[in-house]
Every structure is written in structure tokens, then in C-alpha cells.
Structure 1
Amino acid sequence: MSSFLPAVAEELLREIRNVYQETSQIPDEILLALKFVFGPSALHALDLVDQRAVTVLSSPSGRRVYQVVGGSGHLYTCYTTCHYCPCPAFAFSVLRRSESLLCKHILAAYLCQAMGLSQQETVTDQQMSNILCGKAGPGT
């Protein structure tokens, strides 16, 4: 997962991965733990997972980013390796007020990573460079 998350959050995401691989579902007690650790972001993130709103983009050079379509339809490029999302909720609730560990977009990316449910898309190194510089989406 990410070394930026507290150990309890990382352990919970590992548990989700293990249980989901075996049963293809998440038991109620783990869902409650998810809500306890991540707060209101948990339910919204699970909704994004259900909507298949998470796509992992990978390039031949090995770079990977997650793109998440938010509830408003806005596309956010999330960086799980450095635990960052450009959405307003991340800036306000995570960075400014320290009320949350992360926003729903990054949590959805972590959940999809753990559950193996993200859409996969390969982009060229040039496209990835454009995405990382905030110049364009995967189709350009």
C-alpha cells in the first residue's frame, strides 16, 4: 500500500485484500473498521469502487497513476505512491485541517488496488508525462 498511511490503515487494507481474494466480498466487521479508520470517506469511496470509477494508468517505463471520476464527474489523478489527490476535499480535510487520513478518491484507489477492481489502461510514456504535468488525459 503506502508507507504514508498509519500502520492500522495499512493493515486494514491488507486484510481487505486477503479477505476479498478469498470470498469476493468484504464482511460487515471489516466495513465497520473501514468506517472507523477512514470516517465519512469510506462510504463514498466504496460507492466509487461500485461505480467502477477508478482506472489505473500505466506506461512502458513503469509509471502508474490512478484516475478517479468523482461524484460530480470531475476526473482526479491520484498519486498513491506519495498519497496525494488534487481534489478540494484533500486540500481542506486532509492537508489543512487534518480531519481525515485521505479523501474518497485516494481511498477508492487503495480499495481498488487491494480488491483488484480497477480498470486498466496503458498509455505511452509521452501521454504519462503529459498526465503527470497536468496537461492532458490518457486520450491525448
Structure 2
Amino acid sequence: MTSYLPAVAEELLRDIRKVYQETTQIPDDLLLALKFVFGPSALQALDLVDQRSVTCLSSPSGRKVFQFLLYAQVIGGSGHLYTCYASCHYCPCPAFAFSVLRRNDSLLCKHILAAYLCQAMGLSQHETVTDQQMSDILSGKAGRGT
């Protein structure tokens, strides 16, 4: 798992990967550590993981991005699609722009943390797209699977 996180965060994700592979659960001590290191993003990220909201898109050229289809919590709300780039530690969501980039009071947003957790736990959905589709996704011209 290549990331741009502090060593303590990377170690925590490695521990989660190891324990989850052995037990298919995350013990309370690791959940508390996750909350301590990542703050409020931890519970929100775990919720995204539970909802199976994370899709890893890959192309034949080896490029990978993670997408999250989030639905507003208001009944009848429209969906929002965020394409996250875990390899360069970037998400286009407002929380990333405000908390990570502007205020610098968070390591990452819930979307990137969910991507890391899904990688660690082996729980992301996988979808293969063509190189042209990946180029469209990376350039912002297309959504998932188009």
C-alpha cells in the first residue's frame, strides 16, 4: 500500500489489514486508534466501507482511481460521484479542500480514508475500464463505467 500518510497512519492501516485478514473484524483497540489518528473522518469512512460505496476502477495501462457514489440523506436526493486519487492523496470533495488543504487540520477526507480501508480489508468493488474511459475519468469528462 503506497500512500502519503505519516508512518503512524500507515502502520495502523497495516495492522488493520493483518487483523482483518485473520479475523474478518476490526477489534475495538484498532477502531479507537483509527478514530484517534483520523478524527471524525474515521466513522464516516467506515460507514462508506459498510455501504460498499467504494469502487476501484482500473485500466489495462495500470491506472487506478477510486470512486464513491454518495446519496444525499434526504429522501429523493440526487447522487454525488467523487473520484479520488489515493496514489496522489487527492479528493475533489469540499471536506478535502477545506479540512485538508485550507485548514490543514485533517490528514484526509472520509473518501480517501475509505479507499485506504477498502484496500486494507479487500472490500472495494472492482471495475475494469478501457484506457480511453480512464482518460475521460481522469480529465473529468466521464463518470463511472462510461
Partner residue, 2:76: none
TM-score w.r.t. the length of structure 1 is 0.97
Instruction: State the number of aligned residues.
Output: 140
Aligned-partner Cα distance in 2 for 1:32–1:121: 32
How much is the aligned-residue C-alpha RMSD, in angstroms?
Answer: 1.0
How much has 1:69 moved relative to structure 2? Answer: 2.0
**1:5-55 deviations in Å (ceiling 9; x for gaps):** 000000000000000000000000000000000000000000000000000
Given that 2:13 and 2:116 are in contact with CA atoms closer than 8 Å, whether structure 1 keeps it comes out as yes
Partner residue, 1:88: 94
How much has 1:86 moved relative to structure 2? Answer: 0.2
Whether 2:114 is the aligned partner of 1:108: answer: yes
How much has 1:4 moved relative to structure 2? Answer: 1.3
Aligned-partner Cα distance in 2 for 1:3–1:55: 18
**1:110-138 deviations in Å (ceiling 9; x for gaps):** 00000000000000000000000000013
Whether 2:146 is the aligned partner of 1:122: answer: no
Aligned-partner Cα distance in 1 for 2:89–2:97: 12
Q: Give the fraction of aligned pairs with identical amino acids, expressed as a percent.
A: 82
Pairing of 1:34-73 with structure 2 (within 5 A): 34-72=34-72, 73=79
Q: Secondary structure at the match of 1:74?
A: strand
Q: CA 1:118–1:3 in structure 2 vs 1: closer, same or farther (change >3 Å)?
A: closer
**1:75-99 deviations in Å (ceiling 9; x for gaps):** 1100011000000000000000011
